Amino acid sequence: MRAPRKIILCLALLASPAFAGELEGVRLDDRVSAGKQELQLNGMAVRTRFFFKVYVAGLYLPQKTQDAQAAIGMPGMKRMAIVMLRDVDADSFSKSLRAALHDSNSDAELAPLQPQIDALFGAIHRIGEAKKGATIVLDFAPGTGTSLTVNGVLELKPVAGDDFFVALLKVWLGEGPVAHNMKKALLGTP
């Protein structure tokens, strides 16, 4: 009698969606497909600003790591998924992201990336407001670039330059202020 129960339990678990976790009511899949590559959820974190919870971020990598430099330099596709916890207008979002880019990267690192930065912020301003519940995805494909998808709609075709995604990833995994309160959670470290 016990063997059939175990089989039924295993089948029930397999039939359930595989959620890696839930944070602030946001559920992210344990694994996603990006292009032809499967990525794993490395960790989830909440971005707060002035005591307000702004968004939940999930870092997807080809394989899990607890090392920031390994995550940044890991070959293959990468994804940063952001789910908004409140409405944020384009100006506020841009201002915050621009400051985080400058806090996490040197002027010398950012100068050659200005065309990519301009393209990203242009897309953010065209989108306008990021509403509560919106899903923003930054996908990186080596040799192709970084794309921006909002609620499943491609808003920015891949912008060339592997260094551009590295600069973006350093916002959360680098040494800047945003990273201090999110880095450990995205890397899955206690």
Quote the pLDDT of residue 17.
Answer: 38
* Concatenated DSSP letters of 152-187: TEEEEEEEP-HHHHHHHHHHHHSSSHHHHHHHHHHT
Q: What is the CATH number assigned to the segment(s) 30-186?
A: 3.50.70.10
The reported pLDDT for the residue numbered 31 is 96
Residue 78: what pLDDT?
A: 98
SS3 at position 107: helix
176, 183 Cβ separation under 8 angstroms: no
* All structural domains of the chain with their residue ranges: 30-186
pLDDT of residue 8: 37
The pLDDT of residue 189: 86
Across the chain, which has 190 residues, the per-10-residue mean pLDDT values are 43 40 92 93 93 95 97 97 97 94 96 97 96 97 96 96 96 85 89
